[in-house]
């Protein structure tokens, strides 16, 4: 029975992965998580104690990391500072966790000869034109735009160097935008759903023509489990589910799905350096490892996600006011109230 260490397992995608692994494998799971503003123990409630344990700690703590890595067969590394807007306001924590944290883990897996899987993002490739016929592949050159994506790119390169120079058995996956339960209310989809619940108009950055390639968190989890079990050491796999939608259409779909007028949102200050379009070609993962997504219907997935936030207000309510206060303090301003704005 495999024992795995999941870093960042109290965050959005890490907690979804832990639930997925509990259901679809017999692995024993240890989560190490610092419980930053983004970590939430409530996302890991009711897991079987005989297969799951939680350790609060920082992945830059070399002694702790060494002690934990020694006891497992493999490390799945999700922990990161993950929000682009925060990285524009204060890049420091992104360098500490994303770069130094990954370095600390790599040194421990090198010392103890353990398998490592590194979770990364399609943002390392920069962005695409709206009409570009090509999507990102494993061969696309790195070209990150933000402090967040540049630290993720740096961490990917560290993993590659530890494979080549020290023979560490590691794989990397770069995934597109995830949605689903347990996502922090600072992120695009949960922010709009919880705004509407609170009677606040959704906030669209700039024109909203920006495209994201949406994948359900469960499909990300099934891909990572597949790579962990069948992936070839030293290889990178792109994870995506052909879910391209522009932000404007997603806001309209959320409003309609919650019984509101589709134009009842505000256009607000655009994100500096805002990437225009991400799109993943996941042919390698599908053909070489036989993975397929099972949540292909974005409309159905979005409806289930809206329902989850409506049913789990206790989970997100404690973060909501602080998150909106942070956006206001960062200078977010309404540019063009749409037709339905109150006069
Ligand atoms: P998240 O912000 O929801 O969760 C991050 C978790 O890491 C939190 O629980 C936090 O407490 C923990 N953490 C932060 N710093 C830590 C430290 N120094 N030591 C230990 N724990 C620490 O992020 P997420 O959206 O779940 O993203 C998880 C991973 O997936 C990240 O590596 C991110 O780059 C990657 N990713 C995210 C997406 C997406 O759409 N959200 C897409 C592709 C890849
Ligand atoms: O209120 C908003 N209004 C808005 O229009 C917010 C919070 C965002 N946006 C836009 C910006 C992006 O074009 O929506 C899109 C998605 O924004 P985020 O949820 O902040 O995600 P993004 O910046 O695309 O990055 C996400 O996907 C890749 C994750 O946060 C990263 O961790 C992951 O690497």
pLDDT in tens, 252-292: 999 999 999 999 999 999 999 999 999 999 999 999 999 99
What integer is the mean pLDDT of 229-243? 98
Q: For residue 331, with 0-12 CB atoms within 10 Å meaning exposed, 13-18 middle and 19 or more buried, which class applies?
A: exposed
Task: Output the CA 185–ligand 1 centroid distance in Å.
Answer: 14
Q: Whose CA is nearest to atom 15 of ligand 1?
A: 80
Cβ atoms of 284 and 225 within 8 Å: the answer is: no
Q: Is the CB of 121 under 6 A from ligand 2?
A: yes
Q: Ligand 1 pocket: which of 6, 10, 14, 102 to mutate (most atoms <8 Å of CB)?
A: 14
Structure confidence by residue, pLDDT tens digits, 41-78: 999 999 999 999 999 999 999 999 999 999 999 999 99
As a whole-number percent, the residues of the chain with pLDDT over 90 amount to 97
Q: Ligand 1 pocket: which of 15, 75, 82 to mutate (most atoms <8 Å of CB)?
A: 82
Of ligand 2's atoms, which has the minimum distance to the CA of residue 82?
A: 32
For all residues of the chain together, what is the average pLDDT?
A: 97
CB atoms within 10 A of CB 271: 16
CATH topology of domain 3-177+216-239: Rossmann fold (3.40.50)
Q: Cα separation of 59 and 217, whole Å?
A: 23
CA 69, 225, 238, 169 dihedral sign is positive
Given 3-state DSSP classes, what are the helix, strand and coil percentages for the chain, each rounded to the nearest 5? 45, 15, 40
Structure confidence by residue, pLDDT tens digits, 123-177: 999 999 999 999 999 999 999 999 999 999 999 999 999 999 999 999 999 999 9
What integer is the mean pLDDT of 324-330? 95
Of ligand 1's atoms, which has the minimum distance to the CA of residue 152?
A: 34
The pLDDT assigned to 343 comes to 42
Q: Is the pLDDT of residue 339 over 50?
A: no
Q: Is the CB of 187 under 6 A from ligand 2?
A: yes
- Confidence grade of residue 1 (pLDDT, cut at 50, 70, 90): confident
Q: Is the CB of 83 under 6 A from ligand 2?
A: yes
> Rounded to two decimals, what is the model's pTM?
0.98
Q: Is the pLDDT of residue 342 over 80?
A: no
**Residues acting as catalytic residues:** 122-123, 148
Q: Is the CB of 177 under 6 A from ligand 2?
A: yes
Pocket of ligand 1 (CB under 6 A): 7-8, 10-14, 33-36, 38-39, 58-60, 78-82, 97, 101, 119, 121, 152, 175, 177-178, 184
Tokens of 294: 């099972």
H or E stretch including 75? strand 74-77
């Amino acid at each position: 029975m495999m024992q795995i260490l999941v870093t960042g397992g109290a965050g959005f995608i890490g907690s979804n992965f832990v639930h997925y692994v509990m259901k679809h494998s017999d692995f024993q799971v240890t989560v190490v998580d610092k419980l930053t503003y983004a970590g939430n123990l409530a996302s890991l409630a009711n897991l079987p104690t005989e297969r799951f344990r939680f350790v609060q700690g920082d992945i830059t703590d070399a002694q702790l990391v060494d002690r934990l890595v020694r006891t497992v067969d493999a490390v799945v590394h999700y922990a990161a500072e993950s929000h682009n807007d925060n990285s524009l306001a204060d890049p420091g924590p992104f360098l500490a966790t994303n770069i130094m944290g990954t370095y600390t883990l790599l040194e421990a897996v090198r010392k103890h000869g353990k398998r490592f899987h590194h979770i990364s993002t399609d943002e390392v490739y920069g962005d695409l034109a709206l009409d570009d016929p090509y999507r990102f592949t494993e061969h696309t050159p790195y070209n990150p735009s933000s402090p967040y994506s540049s630290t993720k790119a740096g961490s990917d390169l560290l993993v590659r160097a530890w494979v080549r120079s020290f023979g560490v058995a590691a794989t990397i996956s770069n995934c597109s935008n995830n949605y689903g339960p347990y996502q922090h209310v600072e992120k695009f989809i949960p922010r709009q759903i919880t705004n509407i619940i609170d009677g606040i108009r959704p906030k669209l950055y700039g024109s909203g023509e920006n495209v994201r390639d949406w994948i359900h968190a469960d499909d990300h989890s099934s891909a990572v489990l597949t790579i962990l079990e069948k992936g070839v050491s030293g290889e990178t796999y792109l994870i995506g589910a052909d879910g391209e939608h522009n932000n404007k259409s997603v806001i309209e779909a959320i409003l309609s799905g919650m019984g509101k007028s589709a134009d009842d949102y505000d256009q607000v200050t655009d994100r500096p350096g805002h990437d225009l379009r991400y799109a993943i070609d996941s042919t390698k993962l599908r053909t070489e490892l036989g993975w397929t997504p099972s949540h292909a219907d974005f409309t159905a997935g979005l409806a289930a996600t809206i329902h989850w936030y409506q049913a789990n207000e206790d989970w997100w309510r404690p973060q909501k006011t602080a998150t909106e206060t942070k956006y206001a303090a960062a200078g977010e301003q309404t540019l063009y109230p749409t037709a339905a704005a109150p006069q």
